[in-house]
Chains A and B, each alone.
Chain A
Amino acid sequence: MIRQPVFDTSPPVSDEIRKTTCYMCACRCGINVHLTSGKVSYIEGNRDHPVNKGVLCAKGAAGIKQITAPSRLRAPLRRVGPRGSGAFEEISWDEALALAVSWMKPLRETAPEKLAFFTGRDQSQSLTGLWAQAFGTPNYAAHGGFCSVNMAAAGIYTIGGAFWEFGQPDWERTKLFVIFGVAEDHDSNPIKIGLGKLKARGARVIGVNPIRTGYNAVADDWLGITPGTDGLLILSLIHCLLEAGKVDLDYLARFTNASLLVNATEGPEKGLILKNAESQPFVIDRRSDQPAPWDAKGVQPDLGAVWQGHRTVFQQMAETYLAPQHAPEAVADRVGIPAPRIRALAADLARVAFDEAIEIAQPWTDFRGDRHETMIGRPVSFHAMRGISAHSNGFQTARALHLLQILLGTVETPGGYRLKPPYPKPVEAHPTPHFVSVPGKPLSGPHLGYPRGPEQLALLPDGSPARIDKAFSWENPLSAHGMMHMVIPNAHAGDPYRIDTLFLYMANMAWNSSMNTAAVMEMLTEEKDGEYVIPRIIYSDAYASEMVAYADLILPDTTYLERHDCISLLDRPISEPGAAGDAIRWPVVEPDRDVRGFQSVLIDLGARLGLPGFVTPEGTPLYADYADYLVSHQRRPGVGPLMGFRGNGSEVGRGAPNPGQIDAYIANGGFFQAHVPEEAAFYKPWNAAYQDWAVETGFYDTPQPYLFSIYSEPLRRFQLAAEGHGFPQPPDRLRARIKETMSPLPLWYAPLGDVEGYPLHALTQRPMAMYHSWGSQNAWLRQIHGKNALYVPTKVWVENGFTEGDWARVTSPNGSIVVPVAHMAALNENTVWTWNAIGKRKGAWALDADAPEATEGFLLNHLISELLPEKGDGQRWSNSDPITGQAAWFDLRVRIEKVARHEASLPQFGVLGSPLETT
């Protein structure tokens, strides 16, 4: 017997576990934070938490390094050197807040629109929006405009929900999962957990993506599609399904607007849904061949009806996509996928949806009052993200994908795609944009919304855009998340007007969050008549990001472990298809610096400015801080930021404020769930039991059943305006584009960024270990991804004679960069790509100036302009989706050439002074 050392295999794990919510990305996983001797000693996933069920990603476990990161800001700062120098002095919070108020108060009293307030990776939009509304500026939004508004808007206008956080595949039952353009993100752990479930039972996964990393690497089949052509592929799949009659006719007739009639009468209502004398849409009932209310009990809508010359949506839709230009053989070359493979994919979808259908023995009653004995499921599911949304044709592509889901009957049915409460929610249940600013007064409603027609655009009486970002203008009518990427260029150009103070939170606009980064830095520092063109910039961040150096006043935020937060049903909750859920963050450790949670600072500023909703009638502050707001604020009577433990502590959704609510959340692991009843689990938009539960839980005040919009009437209203009908009217230069792109049926058009002479597509992805992280300076994570190369496909690699270690010049119409290259075969043959946001400015993030992130690391952003090149019409169009304004950064086209090896990537900028070394 060998003698072995003896040691304790049962050491104490920690002194205490505190359960809060992660913020290393946007997933909002539950974490167990272990504390030993008062310090964070280990972070693991919370097993009880609905989002991550115990698991945690690379970022989550590395979060422990964020609370010791040297880049943490320590105190409020006032700029003392030129903008961009990074020279600051520390000031007290009283000085900082007084300075902010001295800038903001006169604006509120004279011209509230001269304050523009935009937030980045923020998860408190129900508060920040309320604050901006109370201030009275129309200029507020978060970062969705350059993130994924195409996904959100297309989903809301079509199915009343969307991909990403609005829903997820039925991971337990789906048999075939098709994932489009998901660059390892959005969302992160839930998709990984779901893929794990599919793999464990051998279900099939198909990846459609130009790049075969991450989720696409484990896909059973990979379609390396040409970027920007997903819509062409999807409409071709629809063509094949229609041609073979493989569509769910019963689902289409009952639950979608396929059975409504399209007005065929020439004139101002042509193409709108035909209405009866009561202004209600109607269907033709197959039992009587007569018109009947769309929601009447027992009605059997006829998809094939023609009534007084008006045809159904179904017929118009089918005829459109049966046309030969949608055949696989007609699109294969552009899509980069052979026609037989497209036909095979269509056959797979049809086989699983219809031949392998499932049925759950769960009776339910629909909104018409008709009872169904079972729930039929079509176990095909889809997920999609950036690869679809970050193109200028992304809105219509996402609509096309939703149409494909609908035709297969896979939305809100077992095995398909399930929405998460408070979704589904029809367009009609969302606000419209509010934008009329009056000195000294709040806005009359929320800034962001979903226009139903041109009369809801945010236009001034002279027809010019009311908002600094030109959201909800004719250039991009449905910009439901605003257009943060246009704020600095527009404010700099004074188009549509000049502003005074730019107020930003957690948005690195002087670096990786802007297109055309170098130009944006110039815009931020340009002077005119002795002052900066954008005169004042206030910025809040927890870390010394590149943006800090470009602000005049810094309000230092805490890290995510040192703060209160709310993951609320009022904005972006943590619901699952089977349960509404919300959560909190709370200070599991106290900050060791003179920093404050931004939301508490915002509430303090609101009180100092005397904003309605932030002060009592006597003018004293209404809330002590954000924690107090979370518990006390009521958006509607009985409905507040948190749904759990209301009133006496046992009321859910609706109930009086409960002072013990946060403690109750902490005791419950940091979150709360309200479970959807079994009978209400599927068919939610049409399920009477779900609608009743949603009202009871406080999502809305009356049941809101609706039909999915295969045919989008709001889009048609914009087309009608472009055809010359109604008021307001678009400028002539935009008529043709609106007519073409705002088709009420999904369509594909070539990405607007396509230009001659640039044969390659260039994309970025976030690595899983850094996706959406506000901590890519993290000591552990930067050892995994500390520099990036441009990945080049075999054909281009060979053509250019590249060898390992080579460098290349990459050129777009906007400029050139010089970067290291690496070979990758598992890649679309005309696509190059790199990891996003590894590259950093020298001197930023408290990294050494010779850190690889700042030497070899690079951004593609320099190649992307916020404006497209002039194309012979004298106009430089915005590089955005013409419908939603989504920044089209995946439209980027480049050419590449080999250059001598370099020591550092180009362009390089001067070393930023550190805001951490103050005077």
Chain B
Amino acid sequence: MTQLPATTDKKLGLVIDLDTCVGCHACVTACKGWNDQGYGAALTDQDPYGAEPSGVFLNRVHSYEVQPEAGPAQIVNFPRSCLHCEDAPCVTVCPTGASYKRQEDGIVLVNEDACIGCGLCAWACPYGAREMEETAGVMKKCTLCVDRIYNENLPEIDRQPACVRTCPTGARHFGDLGDPDSKVSRLVAERGGFELMPEQGTKPVNRYLPPRKKDRPQEASLLAPLLDIKATGFAGWLDKLLERI
């Protein structure tokens, strides 16, 4: 069993705006592209041009239909990746110490040199956020692009996860959720950001911003006719309208 740090210096994580996400999957392939050549083993694809293509993705987008009590059905697009939990069960379940949570920033990582590919961590994660890399026989997961966010070979503006950098709608935000004054913490406070499935007791760091209320009943501020056109005829309407000039 592997130990979690009692506290971490920072709580780096993502804030994902479900009011803004259009479900375009840009984050999915940007993540795949970066991590295919980034930290640890490549993210291979089995049967890529065949009947059952199946590859490793560290981030996937699901679309759910929601039927509110009143009003039309809605679609919520929901990106899913590791939430970098404070009480990460994937870490404590790891028999080799390969899964660990970093003291300095709270990122949950897999040390692939120590990973035996047993899959216990994926089983323990209630969010389905880990995927097995079959070619290398190691477990893969979101690293928060740990090889980007501190990378001095990148311009400072690019030191953020690939999914955040690429998101066309700006629905993904990255920062320190342990700092109440950080931009991401303020966003969570303003927009009522929530934890995913808090009942699991894993204390996720990532937050989701809920969709804003949609399809509001219309307020009764309807347009008043200039005058009774039937009574005055078109000429009357025209005179009344052009009086304004």
Identify the A interface with B (CB < 8 A).
1-2, 4-5, 7-13, 36, 41-45, 47, 52, 54-62, 64, 70, 184, 188-189, 192-193, 195-197, 199-200, 212-215, 217-222, 224, 240-241, 243-246, 249-250, 253, 286, 303-304, 315, 318-319, 322, 340-341, 343-344, 346-347, 350-351, 768-769, 777, 779-784, 786, 824-827, 846-848, 850-852, 855
List which B151-171 residues lie within 8 A (CB) of chain A: 151-154, 157, 162, 165-171
25 contacts between A and B (CB under 8 A): A5-B113, A44-B33, A56-B30, A57-B26, A62-B33, A188-B24, A192-B22, A192-B168, A193-B169, A195-B169, A196-B167, A196-B168, A199-B171, A215-B22, A217-B63, A217-B75, A222-B215, A224-B72, A245-B241, A343-B223, A779-B45, A780-B45, A824-B73, A847-B50, A848-B51
Q: A53's closest neighbor in chain B, by CB? A: B168
Name B residues whose Cβ lies closer than 8 Å to a Cβ of A: 3, 5, 17, 19-26, 28-30, 32-34, 37-39, 45, 48-51, 53-55, 57, 63, 65, 67, 72-77, 100, 102-103, 111, 113-114, 146-147, 149-154, 157, 162, 165-171, 211-212, 214-216, 218-219, 221-226, 229, 234, 237-242, 244-245
A390 → chain B closest CB, angstroms: 21
- Which residues of B are found within 8 Å of A212, using beta-carbon distances? 72-75
Contact B53 A786 (CB under 8 A): yes
Query: From DSSP, what is the main secondary structure of chain B's interface residues?
Result: loop
Shortest 3 CB-CB contacts between residues of A and residues of B: A192-B168, A825-B73, A344-B218
Nearest-CB residue, chain A, relative to B223 = A244
Q: Does the CB pair A222–B72 fall under 8 Å?
A: yes
Give Cα distance in the complex from A471 to B76, angstroms: 43
CA–CA, A214 and B169, complex, Å: 12
Contacting pair B22 A344 (CB below 8 A): no
Complex Cα–Cα for A227 and B165 (A): 37
Taken together as a complex, chains A and B put the C-alpha atoms of A10 and B153 apart, in Å, by: 6
Give the Cβ gap from A483 to chain B, nearest Cβ, in Å.
32
Bound-state Cα–Cα, A47 to B211, Å: 28
Evaluate contact between A192 and B169: CB separation under 8 angstroms. Answer: yes
**How close is B9's CB to chain A, nearest CB, in angstroms?**
12
**Chain A residue contacts of B103, Cβ below 8 A:** 1-2, 4
User: A54 vs B165: C-alpha distance in the bound complex, in angstroms?
Assistant: 7
Bound: A200/B63 CA distance, A: 22
- Residue among A7, A781, A783 with max Cβ neighbours from chain B (10 Å): A783
Flag if B55 contacts A780 (CB, 8 Å): yes
8 Å CB contact of A220 from B32, B33, B214: B214
Q: A199-B17, A322-B229, A826-B74 are in contact. Are A340 and B218 (CB under 8 A)?
A: yes
Chain B residues near A192 (CB-CB < 8 A): 22, 24, 168-169
Q: What B residues does A222 contact at CB under 8 A? A: 72, 74, 214-215
Q: Are A62 and B74 in contact (CB under 8 A)?
A: no
Closest to A825 in B: B73
Report B-chain residues with C-beta under 8 Å of the C-beta of A47: 157
Point out the residue from B17, B22, B114, B218 that lies within 8 Å of A768, measured CB to CB: B22
By the criterion CB–CB under 8 Å, are A243 and B146 in contact?
A: no
Q: CB distance A825 to B29 under 8 Å?
A: no
A221-B20 in contact given A343-B223, A826-B75 (Cβ < 8 Å): no
Complex Cα distance, B65 from A250, in Å, reads 46
- Among A58, A224, A243, A852, the residue within 8 A (CB) of B28 is A58
How many angstroms between the C-alpha atoms of A243 and B238 in the bound complex?
Answer: 10
Cβ contact within 8 Å between B238 and A44: no
Chain B nearest Cβ from A1, distance in angstroms: 7
Q: List residues of chain B with CB within 8 A of the CB of A61.
A: 26, 29-30, 32-33, 166
Give the residues in chain B near A43, CB-CB below 8 Å: 33
Residues A851 and B49 in contact, CB atoms below 8 Å apart: yes
Task: Verify A9–B165 contact, CB threshold 8 A.
Answer: no
